[in-house]
Amino acid sequence: MSVKIRLARRGRKKLARYDVVVADARSPRDGKFIEKIGTYDPLTVPATINLNEERAFDWLMNGAQPSDTVKAMLSYRGVMMKKHLQIGVVKGAITQDQADQKLADWKKLKDDKIQSKRDNISKSKQDAAKARKDAEVKIKEARAEAIRKKAEVAAAAPVAEVPAAPSEAEAPTGEAQA
C-alpha cells in the first residue's frame, strides 16, 4: 500500500483551509485517511502551518511520500532537513549530536527570518494606516479652510440680488413647432 502525506480541503467556498493527512494514495482527496497530522491556512499572511512535526517525521522515515505542497511545507518547518540529517546519522556520516546541533541552528535562523517577515508586514500595515490618516487630516484641513474663506467672503460682501434667469416658457426657442 502506497502512503501519501497530502492536503484534504476543508472550509467553505473561497475560504479554504486544509488538513495535512496521511492517506492511502488510492483514496480520494477529501476521503478516508490514516492520520491527521496538522492543518494549513493559506489565507493568512504568512500562511499558518500547524504541524505535528514528530509524527510527520515518523511517517517520512517509514516511507510516506509527501505531495509537492506538503513537501514545501515540511521543508519550511524543517522536517525534511531533519530527515536528511537523520539519514546521514544512519549512514555514519555525522553523529546524532552534530545532526541535532545543525537542525537547531537552522531552525533558529528560520524562526528569526519568519519573525522579521511578520514584523515587516505589521510595520507596513501601520505605515499605510498612518499615511491614510495623514491624507485624511490634510483633506479635512483643506475643507475647513475653504469653508472659512467662504464665510469670510459672505460676511465681507452682502449678497446682491441676482436677477432670476427667464423660465423655459419665456425663453425664445430657435426651433419651429411642428
Positions of E strands within the chain: 3-12, 15-24, 35-41, 48-51, 65-66
Look at residue 160 in the predicted model and tell me its pLDDT: 54
Given the C-alpha cell 490618516, which residue does it identify?
133
Q: Decide if 79 contacts 103 (C-beta within 8 A).
A: no
With a pLDDT cut of 90, the percent of the chain lying above it is: 75
**Has residue 74 got a pLDDT over 90?**
yes
Look at residue 26 in the predicted model and tell me its pLDDT: 93
Q: Decide if 15 contacts 31 (C-beta within 8 A).
A: no
**Has residue 169 got a pLDDT over 90?**
no
Per the model's pLDDT, the better-predicted residue between 164 and 125 turns out to be 125
Q: What does DSSP assign to residue 6?
A: E
Look at residue 154 in the predicted model and tell me its pLDDT: 86
Per-residue confidence band for 177, with pLDDT thresholds at 50, 70 and 90? low
Q: Tell me the domains of the chain and their CATH numbers.
A: 3-94 (3.30.1320.10)
The candidate with the shortest Cα–Cα distance to 38, out of 52, 24, 56, is 52
Q: Cα–Cα–Cα angle for 114, 116, 120, nearest 5°?
A: 120
Report how far residue 1's alpha carbon sits from residue 168's, in angstroms, rounded to the nearest whole number: 89
Look at residue 162 in the predicted model and tell me its pLDDT: 55
Provide the CA 81 distance to its chain's centre, in angstroms.
Answer: 25
Residues 37-66: what's their mean pLDDT?
Answer: 93
Cell of 79: 522536517
Look at residue 45 in the predicted model and tell me its pLDDT: 79
Q: Is 146 helix (H, G, I), strand (E, B) or coil?
A: helix
